[in-house]
Amino acid sequence: MVGALVRLGNCFDLLDPSNAGLLTWAHQDLTRQLGRAKQPVPRNANNHKYLDCAVFNWLYTVLEAGGKHLESCRAVFVPLQQRRGLPRMWQRSGVFEGAHIQLCVRQPQNILAVWLVRKDGRYGED
């Protein structure tokens, strides 16, 4: 595993629920634009998230055309096996087993440091 120190900068933060609507809009707009161009809409397949990637890239392109440049994006990811039944850490918990934060750093200069993390969680090589 690798640890990293990252500056989020101007972040599209999906931990803020108000941003989910913008992502929904981007999906609808991309689908509409591809339909007009008679182009197929990408589809997700198992671990290959082609549609997800296309929607995020479409959103970044639209926002950048409007003068808003995003340096990163973060969101909660719940693995597929946890989505069925959503095992919680304890009864009625809002924390789910296997859930974690995913981060996309779009600007390499925002990666400030990188280091190895051992399987036991300590730093440095095994």
Report how many domains make up the chain: 1
73 within a domain of the structure (yes/no): yes
79 within a domain of the structure (yes/no): yes
pLDDT of residue 97: 72
Domain containing residue 43: 2-116
6 within a domain of the structure (yes/no): yes
Nearest to 75 by CA among 55, 48, 91, 45: 55
- Global pTM exceeds 0.85: no
Predicted confidence (pLDDT) per residue in 65-117, tens digit: 999 999 999 988 776 655 566 677 666 666 677 777 888 899 889 989 888 87
Q: Tell how far CA 73 is from the center of its chain.
A: 6
Q: Among the listed ranges 1-10, 42-51, 89-98, 102-111, which one has the minimum average pLDDT value?
A: 89-98
94 within a domain of the structure (yes/no): yes
pLDDT of residue 38: 98
Bridge partners (DSSP) listed for residue 113: 5
pLDDT of residue 34: 97
89 within a domain of the structure (yes/no): yes
122 within a domain of the structure (yes/no): no
